[in-house]
């Protein structure tokens, strides 16, 4: 604790008395000085009062008051929290404000356990029959309100409307608001707008309200004008009405009946042909409100000397016909779409019309023709977005990560914490401090770089079978590489040495001395060092002891196996060097595990009999209480 500097008051006593008193009664002065000096000692009143402010300051208080601060500011934190309590208290408000977020979990795991935590949300793995978003894109053609010229791809009013992207626009009359997410190109052959060729339009999303043709457009509170895109100050508005024209969107042709009388008109495209040649005409109508549209092919616009489809109806049509263009002297014919839809706002959508010369493999010609359109506000073809489950390539129904909802783990209100800390340790703490009530919390234990793992394939062991009660003897005959013995509970080892050094983690280094008895707990690992002629007597209550090492005439390889081929689910921490991952669980013996290794699962039912090189000590102590563990080996 750092105290502020306090001046001792006993030094002031002499000054407080008249000079004659201090000179004539020096013992009295001394007496008072001693009394005050006594009160200035630690724990005495003056000392305590002088340090009141420090005691009330979390930075300078004593351990005695840490509990009071903790109860005041960190009530649901565990009592074991001692480290940096002042630091945590000073910053705890931001933690409380972020409770329930991943950030808050990470902070808590770091502060309490010095561990990291990762998250899994099972809801993202649930297969849903219709999880895609069905939406209808909309496009707006803007125009210079004075010249009534939409921005063109080239020539004419070649305005750069890309400046509108990522901005919200507002209609001045309608108050409709939309976000401009892109710039698109609309084919506009025959479009009556004072120019020629394709025009640029904006695609909008997150629309609220209905824009009105002809209304001006705001960004924020400012009218946009052509000065925003190039020189000029004419305000821009939504293209008021396209009295003739058609747009193709996503290679689909949308004919939309206008409010005006455009019935019994047709759009057409002239196609250059060769004499005595056959052509394949292919057209596909997706949907129609009214049956009265049809395709004709003739030598003049709107005629049907070569082909007449008749009215196509309202259901989808896909037709391929072979046309004979045999007439001498004809160099072109016309493919026309008749618009005979009777009602305003009727529409029909063609998924393209193509014409291919019979004996060639020319790229189909997308047919775009002239027809009236309602206005500069266009709806695109409805489509799926953000598909999941059935519709996208990456999330098919047989994807092993996609499962049916089970109302337990795989449901909308569950999450899983993955950490190197057992849930027994953090469960109640998390629930008191962070866990959003109403959700189901799961946990998975991860082991990380603390784990030392050795080759399973190259390690070997030998079972030495003993009588249950009688000791047996292993005589060490070679020196050099130590060997390991795995013991079970109740095993007793007698070694003719008297100097044994505990090397930690259950390892005992036996030196060259006389007999000693060691009783090891289950799974403790005995490593006998380079000592020729050592005699180890072992008695086992279970009758079996696993021996590793040179005495079993098997060279134990401590080299880490790098080409271990597990096809496991990989869960990596940031900045962690991962060699491979292995899942463990209960249910099988070690030999089962050895044989099932390629199945990426080692299931062990009796931890006391696990023999995996040096791995068993760790495994027993860390995973003896859990159903399964995912080990990240580094």
Residue from 8, 45, 533, 624 binding other proteins (CB under 8 A)? 45
Contact predicate 172/218, CB 8 Å? yes
Question: How far apart are CB 88 and other proteins at their closest, in Å?
Answer: 13
The 3-state secondary structure of 375-434, one letter per residue: CCEEECCCEEECCCCCCCCCCCCCCCCCECCCCCCCCCCEEEEEECCCHHHHHHHHHHHC
Question: What residues from 441 to 500 belong to the interface with other proteins (CB under 8 A)?
Answer: 441
End-to-end Cα, the chain, rounded Å = 41
Question: How far apart are CB 1 and other proteins at their closest, in Å?
Answer: 5
Residue with Cβ nearer other proteins (49 or 133): 49
Question: How far apart are CB 47 and other proteins at their closest, in Å?
Answer: 9
Question: How far apart are CB 73 and other proteins at their closest, in Å?
Answer: 7
- Near other proteins by CB under 8 A, which window of 30-38, 177-185, 415-423, 548-556? 30-38
Question: What residues from 598 to 617 belong to the interface with other proteins (CB under 8 A)?
Answer: none
Residue with Cβ nearer other proteins (3 or 572): 3
Residue from 12, 35, 87, 521 binding other proteins (CB under 8 A)? 35
Return the closest-CA partner of residue 543 out of 609, 608, 467. Answer: 467
State whether residue 154 is helix, strand or coil: coil
Pairwise CA distance, residues 87 & 81, whole Å = 12
Residue with Cβ nearer other proteins (45 or 364): 45
DSSP 8-state assignment for residue 143 = E
Question: How far apart are CB 117 and other proteins at their closest, in Å?
Answer: 17
Residue with Cβ nearer other proteins (68 or 205): 68
Return the closest-CA partner of residue 505 out of 520, 491, 525, 528. Answer: 525
Question: What residues from 384 to 443 belong to the interface with other proteins (CB under 8 A)?
Answer: 407-408, 411-414, 431-441
Residue with Cβ nearer other proteins (31 or 586): 31
Q: Is 133 in the site for other proteins (CB under 8 A)?
A: no
Pairwise CA distance, residues 118 & 575, whole Å = 13
Residue 228 CB: number of other CB atoms within 10 A? 18
Contact predicate 272/331, CB 8 Å? yes
Residue from 25, 31, 121, 586 binding other proteins (CB under 8 A)? 31
Question: How far apart are CB 81 and other proteins at their closest, in Å?
Answer: 14
Question: How far apart are CB 76 and other proteins at their closest, in Å?
Answer: 7
Pairwise CA distance, residues 207 & 177, whole Å = 6
Edge-to-edge strands, sheet with 500-504: 462-465, 544-547, 483-486, 525-528, 507-510, 500-504
Question: How far apart are CB 52 and other proteins at their closest, in Å?
Answer: 6
Contact predicate 417/430, CB 8 Å? yes
Question: What residues from 138 to 167 belong to the interface with other proteins (CB under 8 A)?
Answer: none
CB neighbours of 323 closer than 8 A, spacing ≥ 6?
A: 278, 279, 280, 281, 297, 306, 307
Question: What residues from 48 to 107 belong to the interface with other proteins (CB under 8 A)?
Answer: 48-49, 52, 55-56, 62-65, 68-69, 71-73, 75-76, 93, 96-97, 99-100
State whether residue 150 is helix, strand or coil: coil
Residue with Cβ nearer other proteins (43 or 394): 43
Residue with Cβ nearer other proteins (122 or 352): 122
- Near other proteins by CB under 8 A, which window of 36-44, 218-226, 449-457, 553-561? 36-44
Question: How far apart are CB 445 and other proteins at their closest, in Å?
Answer: 20
Contact predicate 583/629, CB 8 Å? yes
Contact predicate 487/520, CB 8 Å? yes
Question: How far apart are CB 71 and other proteins at their closest, in Å?
Answer: 5
Residue with Cβ nearer other proteins (57 or 571): 57
Residue with Cβ nearer other proteins (123 or 588): 123
CB neighbours of 57 closer than 8 A, spacing ≥ 6?
A: none
Question: How far apart are CB 428 and other proteins at their closest, in Å?
Answer: 11
Question: How far apart are CB 82 and other proteins at their closest, in Å?
Answer: 13
Residue from 25, 38, 119, 124 binding other proteins (CB under 8 A)? 38
User: Tokens standing for 326?
Assistant: 């045999």
Partners of residue 135 on adjacent β-strands? 383
Residue from 19, 27, 155, 504 binding other proteins (CB under 8 A)? 27
Pairwise CA distance, residues 199 & 491, whole Å = 88
- Could you list the beta-strand ranges (E) of 420-563: 440-447, 462-465, 472-475, 483-486, 492-495, 500-504, 507-510, 516-519, 525-528, 535-539, 544-547
- Near other proteins by CB under 8 A, which window of 42-50, 192-200, 311-319, 554-562? 42-50
Question: How far apart are CB 141 and other proteins at their closest, in Å?
Answer: 39
Contact predicate 458/554, CB 8 Å? no
Residue with Cβ nearer other proteins (231 or 404): 404
Residue with Cβ nearer other proteins (390 or 410): 410
Contact predicate 456/516, CB 8 Å? no
Residue from 14, 17, 30, 78 binding other proteins (CB under 8 A)? 30
Question: How far apart are CB 120 and other proteins at their closest, in Å?
Answer: 16
Residue with Cβ nearer other proteins (125 or 216): 125
Residue with Cβ nearer other proteins (40 or 551): 40
Pairwise CA distance, residues 228 & 250, whole Å = 28
Residue with Cβ nearer other proteins (415 or 466): 415
Partners of residue 161 on adjacent β-strands? none
Residue with Cβ nearer other proteins (253 or 434): 434
Contact predicate 243/301, CB 8 Å? no
Question: How far apart are CB 441 and other proteins at their closest, in Å?
Answer: 8
Question: How far apart are CB 389 and other proteins at their closest, in Å?
Answer: 21
User: Tokens standing for 614?
Assistant: 């040096």
Partners of residue 538 on adjacent β-strands? 472, 493
Q: How big is the site for other proteins, counted in residues (CB under 8 A)?
A: 52
Residue with Cβ nearer other proteins (50 or 603): 50
Residues that bind other proteins (CB under 8 A): 1, 3, 27, 30-31, 34-35, 38-39, 42-46, 48-49, 52, 55-56, 62-65, 68-69, 71-73, 75-76, 93, 96-97, 99-100, 407-408, 411-414, 431-441
């Amino acid at each position: 604790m750092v105290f502020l500097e306090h001046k001792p008051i006993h030094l002031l006593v002499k000054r407080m008395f008249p000079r004659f008193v201090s000179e004539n009664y020096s013992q009295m002065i001394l007496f008072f000085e001693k009394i005050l000096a006594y009160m200035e000692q630690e724990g005495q009143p003056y000392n305590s009062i002088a340090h009141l402010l420090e005691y009330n300051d979390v930075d300078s208080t004593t351990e005695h008051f840490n509990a009071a601060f903790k109860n005041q500011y960190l009530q649901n934190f565990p009592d074991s929290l001692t480290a940096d309590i002042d630091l945590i208290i000073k910053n705890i408000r931001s933690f409380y404000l972020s409770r329930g977020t991943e950030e808050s979990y990470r902070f808590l795991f770091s502060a309490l356990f010095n561990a990291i935590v990762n998250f899994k949300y099972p809801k993202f793995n649930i297969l849903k029959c219709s999880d895609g978003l069905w939406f209808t894109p909309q496009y707006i053609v803007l125009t210079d309100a004075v010249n009534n010229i939409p921005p063109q791809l080239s020539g004419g009013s070649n305005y750069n409307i890309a400046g509108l992207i990522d901005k919200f626009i507002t209609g001045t009359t309608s108050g409709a608001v939309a976000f401009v997410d892109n710039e698109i190109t609309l084919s506009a052959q025959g479009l009556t707008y004072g120019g020629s060729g394709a025009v640029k339009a904006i695609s909008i999303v997150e629309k609220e309200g209905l824009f009105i043709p002809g209304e001006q457009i705001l960004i924020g509170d400012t009218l946009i004008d052509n000065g925003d895109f190039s020189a000029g100050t004419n305000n821009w508005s939504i293209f008021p009405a396209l009295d003739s024209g058609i747009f193709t969107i996503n290679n689909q042709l949308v004919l939309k009946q206008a409010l005006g009388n455009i019935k019994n008109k047709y759009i057409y495209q002239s196609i250059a042909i060769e004499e005595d040649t056959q052509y394949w005409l292919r057209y596909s109508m997706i949907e129609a409100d009214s049956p009265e549209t049809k395709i004709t092919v003739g030598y003049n616009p709107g005629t049907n000397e070569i082909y007449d489809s008749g009215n196509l109806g309202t259901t989808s049509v896909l037709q391929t016909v072979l046309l004979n263009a045999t007439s001498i002297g004809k160099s072109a014919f016309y493919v026309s779409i008749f618009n005979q839809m009777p009602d305003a706002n009727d529409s029909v959508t063609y998924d393209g019309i193509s014409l291919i010369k019979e004996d060639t493999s020319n790229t189909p010609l997308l047919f775009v023709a002239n027809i009236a359109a309602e206005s500069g506000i266009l709806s695109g073809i409805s489509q799926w977005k953000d598909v999941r489950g059935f519709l996208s390539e990456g999330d098919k129904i047989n994807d092993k990560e996609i499962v049916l909802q089970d109302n337990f783990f795989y449901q909308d209100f569950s999450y899983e914490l993955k950490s190197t800390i057992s849930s027994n340790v953090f469960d109640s703490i998390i629930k008191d401090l962070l866990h959003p009530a109403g959700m189901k919390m799961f946990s998975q234990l991860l082991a990380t770089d603390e784990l030392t793992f050795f080759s399973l394939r190259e390690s070997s062991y030998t079972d030495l079978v003993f009588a249950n009660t009688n000791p047996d003897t292993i005589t060490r005959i070679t020196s050099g590489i130590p060997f390991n013995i795995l013991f079970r509970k109740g095993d007793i080892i007698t070694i003719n040495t008297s100097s044994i050094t505990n090397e930690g983690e259950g390892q005992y280094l036996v030196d060259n001395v006389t007999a000693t008895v060691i009783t090891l707990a289950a799974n403790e690992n005995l490593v006998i060092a380079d000592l020729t002629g050592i005699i180890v007597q072992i008695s086992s209550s279970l009758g079996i002891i696993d021996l590793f090492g040179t005495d079993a005439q098997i060279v134990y390889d401590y080299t880490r196996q790098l080409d271990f081929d597990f096809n496991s689910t990989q869960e990596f921490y940031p900045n962690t060097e991962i060699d491979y991952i292995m899942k463990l669980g209960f249910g099988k013996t070690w030999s089962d595990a050895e044989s099932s290794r390629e199945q990426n699962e080692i299931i062990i039912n009796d931890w006391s009999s696990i023999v995996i090189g040096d791995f068993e000590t760790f495994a027993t102590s860390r995973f003896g209480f859990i159903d399964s563990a995912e080990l990240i080996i580094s």
